[in-house]
Amino acid sequence: ALESQFKNVEVFTEAPYIVRDRIIYGELYTLIPLESNWCRGYMMLQTAEKPIVTFVEQGHTHIVADYVDFRDINHVMGEVTNLVWGAFKNRFVSGEQLPGRQSQVPIIVNHQHRYISFGSEDPQLCFKYTLLDPDGKAAPLVLYQRFIFNLSWAPEKFKENEAIAEDLFDSGELELF
């Protein structure tokens, strides 16, 4: 998803890790709900605004603008969020029906203290991505991705999306020994 939205950059991904803090990184973050029969919660992407503005200004995105404003940045982050969410849904959420309306909990955001709470103390799965301009004209862009399964977590109910697995077998990307 990152490589499709950012041009001529190198994407480095650190090993996933667990966090228990509620600290927001940067000024810009996106949230999108994740719902399946085995998990319910949110995916959040966080970044600082200045580096992503520089990436847009340096032509490392598909945005073409004489003047870059926050709407351009929102567009880039929204598109990345949608692409990652779609990939997660295609890979990890099969087509089973979910029960009717389920409860929600308040999400608390306190910008002054850079704090966000999803109503639980559960740990969050975190990924850190660093995008580098190979020419060195733009400062590194760091994105944090968090998965927060605050409403439901039942990994024993997870079933591989059969269509995706079959595609991987057919393409030769996945072999069963």
pLDDT at 177: 43
- In contact, 149 and 126? CB cutoff 8 Å: no
pLDDT at 172: 61
pLDDT at 111: 77
50 or 108, which is more confident = 50
**Cα 60 → chain centroid:** 19
pLDDT at 37: 85
9-13 LR contacts (CB < 8 Å, sep 24+): 9/55, 9/60, 9/131, 9/132, 9/133, 9/134, 9/141, 10/131, 10/132, 10/134, 11/129, 11/130, 11/131, 12/129, 12/130, 12/131, 12/132, 13/127, 13/128, 13/129
pLDDT above 90 as % of the chain: 33
Calpha distance 75→79 (Å, rounded): 6
User: Tens of pLDDT along 63-95?
Assistant: 887 888 888 888 899 999 999 998 888 888 877
Give the tokens for residue 40.
């319910």
Nearest to 73 by CA among 56, 86, 93: 56
pLDDT at 168: 59
User: Tens of pLDDT along 93-118?
Assistant: 877 666 665 666 767 777 778 888 88
Question: Taking all residues of the chain, what is their mean pLDDT, rounded to a whole number?
Answer: 84
Give the tokens for residue 133.
């301009």
- Reported as a pLDDT band with limits 50, 70 and 90, residue 162 is low
Q: How far is CA 75 from CA 47, 62, 82, in A?
A: 14, 10, 11
pLDDT at 17: 94
Mean pLDDT across 116-139: 90
pLDDT at 23: 86
